[in-house]
Amino acid sequence: MSTLIKNDFIKRYKLTLTTLGPVHVGSGVQANQKEFYQAGEQIFFPNVGALYLLLEDEQREQFEQAVMQGSEMDRSVKNSQVKAGQRLDEILRNIGAHDITPEKHASVFGLAFDVSTTAKKPVPARNSVAGRGRQKYLIPQAPGAANAPKQEKLNVVNRFIRDGFGDPYIPGSSLKGMLRTLLFEYFVIRKVTTDWSEDVKLDQGTESKLSKIFENIIVADSVALKNTDLMVCQKVDRSQKGENNGLPLFRECLKPGVVLEFDISVTEAQNKKTSEHAMKDGKWIANIANIAQVVYSERYSEYRSKFALASDDGAYTFLGAGAGFRSKTVVNSEKTMAETLENQFREIPFKKKQSEGAGIPLSYKVSLDKTGKLLEMGKCKIEVTELQ
């Protein structure tokens, strides 16, 4: 019999995350410049197979040559129209397929929406089957960013994870990992056990403790989301001088304001056992918002102020890739963070900067929308309610 149901009463909770900044949970798939169509500040992820069928026979040969350029199957190309490093939109123009555009072939290029105004509804493709899962995006850039890449340098977009129907979602394992880190950070801050010091390292003993805490907890995947909940964000490093430095890395992300819902099942006995370490009044899942607020206040309030960011306080946490080293580590000492990062990036004097009062890490992970509004990568508000 499963340990989850043996002799224990099961409590069920609904955990809700509201995205306050872009959230990226990657599929491991990257769309290169030959797989998306760029038109100014808009990009499409078209059905390339359907697009190919729109070409004339001569154009198809040229298209194949251009797409294969630079691949392992690349061969010497004699056609003068084929150039290395071309984007899909450039390839179509160079082979004379000027009439194959999103405006004329919506069913091939797919859904369209403007990420800077989330109230607008997407324009549906004429053929909903061909258009499923393909969208057009406006790309938030970093206004005035010293190193912000120009549009023509957008080479790769990291895609968001999707289910078998092509809809984005957050795996339960991603949320469980976030909760695990959050709870461990709380342990470190409160120093609730004598063997977990401020500069605790994830050794075999502490891993075992956390495994026991989470062994009887089941976290379901999020409720399925919509492709129109997504946007494409540029990676931006904010310096402690308040400068926003755009980097040539783009991710498909959930927009701010998206609501994520998860079902969590946990045995009452496990809750009571965990409360000895985490919360004296028990039921730590029910108190996760309070735990998040303590962790956020301790780890981010002073740190954020060093990046010219307005102070805030709440039940905030961070989910997904690109949210920064501080959101993934349980180390609470900036000195230890600096030593860890300098061992990994030896060319950067983290320890010297930390001794001079700089916040560690030295950059804060953000993105910016077209109006210049700063968006903190991965930031979410967390709430939980007990289900009857």
Mean pLDDT by 10 residues, the chain (388 residues): 54 94 94 83 86 94 84 43 69 93 90 37 36 51 46 72 94 94 83 45 54 81 92 89 86 94 80 46 75 93 91 94 90 84 86 85 88 90 91
Q: How far apart are the first and last CA of the chain?
A: 24
What's the rounded Cα separation, in Å, for the pair 314 and 382? Answer: 9
* Residue (of 315, 297, 295, 294) closest to 305 by Cα position: 297
Supply the pLDDT for residue 40: 67
Supply the pLDDT for residue 170: 97
Q: Confirm if 3 and 269 have CB atoms less than 8 A apart.
A: no
What's the rounded Cα separation, in Å, for the pair 341 and 325? Answer: 9
Supply the pLDDT for residue 321: 94
Q: Confirm if 250 and 154 have CB atoms less than 8 A apart.
A: yes
Supply the pLDDT for residue 57: 92
Residue spans of the domains in the chain: they are 10-21+167-226+255-387, 28-160
Query: Beta-carbon neighbour count of residue 80 at 10 Å?
Result: 7
pTM over 0.75: yes
Condensed to tens digits (0 to 9), the pLDDT of residues 273-319 reads: 554 444 333 367 888 999 999 999 999 988 999 999 988 999 999 99
Supply the pLDDT for residue 8: 56
What's the rounded Cα separation, in Å, for the pair 54 and 37? Answer: 15
